[in-house]
Amino acid sequence: MLKNLAGGHPKGLYLLFSVEMWERFSYYGMRAMLVLYMIEKLSFNIYSASSVYGFYTGFVYLTPLLGGYLADRFLGQRKSISIGAIVMLCGLMALASGIKWLFFPALTLMIIGNGFFKSNISTIVGMLYGEDKQKKDAGFTIFYMGINLGAFFSPLVCGTLAMKFGYNYGFAAAGVGMLLGYITYKLGEKSLLGEHGLHPVAKRAVADDSEKKELTLRDKRKIGALFILMLFSICFWICFEQAGCSLTLFAKNSTQRVFGNFEIAAEYFQSLNPLFIITLAPLMSMLWGFLASKGKEPTSVVKFCMALTLISLATFIMAMAAHFTHGNTYLVSPFWLFFAYFTFTVAELCLSPIGLSLVTKLAPAQFASLLMGTWFLSSFVGNLAAGLFAGFYDTISHTVFFLILSATAFVIAMILTSLIPVLKLWMGKN
């Protein structure tokens, strides 16, 4: 099964897979500890910690817009990735120092570095495939597995070090992951990536008149469809990004985590999502391929509707779990989080890798990285709103908290479903 998924792809994909794996190891390892670190070591209350978390994870997805623009116009994707890796490494080392006044400067460095890194590495993945749209979806699924392989191990490694020795060691481990990613990238980029992403589009356009032409009506409609899908995906990310705040607090305070002499760290639950991604991504890719061979594969828009419906179900599961805690007087089984994260994951696979692939298919060449950065703009708004909403986690009933998310996602899914015919037309599906 994995052989069928992985066969026939450019070698550069596996380099970018490895680099992204280590970069995501550093990001998710740091993110798993962030709220608990602010509460336990910096004396933040839940509202303040959740708000800072929301602003940080939000701006991490805003700066790729600027990073994509600079790459397209001046730097090229390859140089931008190197800059981003080095800046993020500096931020992680500042966190690992344990110096409290460096906390916000460290987050700022992480935000800036991610802006140079995130959109550009995804853009190069698309460049490797040219016009092979069928293979591109599978390629992005493999790339997405790299993201989640790093995300799976990082809460286990960084969370264990934080629990046993202190948060500084957890942040240092995240920094080591970023360093390994940068070294891997520099060792393989010249031999495996060729000319892809080496020069900015603005310079390549001098030799290629096709990239200098003005946007056609068809191009504008495709970009318009992307923006509409970005708008609807905001609701998805508001629900999904509860993982680092309200779901972590639920795991910490409302879940049975001690079994005999063994204690499950609250951070460990964040490894469930990437574990399920690694397990389910090949199956989902094969399912899409099988349905495509029968002429029955859902369109990208339908997959987005499925994602929103499933995320509604996942947050409803959490509402049921919260109901059985009886206001935190009873600890519920960890299986509630297990099933919720499983549903979160299936929803994610219907939206996130599909969205990355869709941008590379619909974006005009001269705006490839810029529109990839714009795609992450929905994650910026979603993450920011997720953190701000999580600030109310302890001020309203936890059951009501998750029911609000569930009901909102379901309504948004129904609205998007009604727009399917228009979006299919704009995207050139009929």
* pLDDT the model gives residue 342: 96
Q: Are 144 and 113 spatial neighbours (Cβ–Cβ below 8 Å)?
A: no
Determine how many CB atoms are found less than 10 A away from the CB of residue 146.
22
* pLDDT the model gives residue 419: 92
* pLDDT the model gives residue 137: 66
- Residues 11-190+197-202+214-426, CATH architecture: Up-down Bundle (1.20)
* pLDDT the model gives residue 58: 84
Tell me the CA end-to-end span of the chain in Å, nearest whole number. 32
b or e along 57-92 (b: 16 or more beta carbons within 10 Å of the residue's beta carbon)? bbbbbbbbbebbbbbbeebbbbbbbbbbbbbbbbbb
Residues near 235 by beta carbon (within 8 Å), at least 6 away in sequence = 308, 311, 382, 408, 409, 412
**Across the chain, which distance is largest between two alpha carbons, in Å?**
69
Q: How many helices (H) and strands (E) does the chain have?
A: 18, 2
Residues near 305 by beta carbon (within 8 Å), at least 6 away in sequence = 413, 416, 417, 420
Residues near 87 by beta carbon (within 8 Å), at least 6 away in sequence = 109, 112, 113, 116
Task: Write down the residue that tokens 């705006």 correspond to.
Answer: 367
Residues near 155 by beta carbon (within 8 Å), at least 6 away in sequence = 28, 29, 32, 267, 268, 269, 270, 271
Q: Are 5 and 157 spatial neighbours (Cβ–Cβ below 8 Å)?
A: no
Read off the pTM: 0.76
* pLDDT the model gives residue 210: 47
pLDDT tens string for the chain (430 positions)?
444 455 577 888 889 989 999 998 999 899 889 988 999 999 999 889 988 988 898 888 888 888 888 888 888 889 999 999 999 999 999 999 989 999 999 999 999 999 899 878 888 888 887 766 667 767 777 787 777 888 888 888 998 898 889 999 999 999 999 999 999 999 998 888 888 878 886 555 545 554 456 777 777 888 888 888 889 999 999 999 898 889 988 998 899 988 878 888 888 888 898 889 888 877 887 887 788 788 888 888 899 999 999 999 999 999 999 999 876 678 999 999 999 999 999 999 899 878 877 887 777 766 766 777 777 788 888 888 998 898 898 889 999 999 999 999 999 999 999 999 988 888 875 4
* pLDDT the model gives residue 2: 46
Return d(Cα 184, Cα 30) in angstroms, integer: 20
Determine how many CB atoms are found less than 10 A away from the CB of residue 52.
20
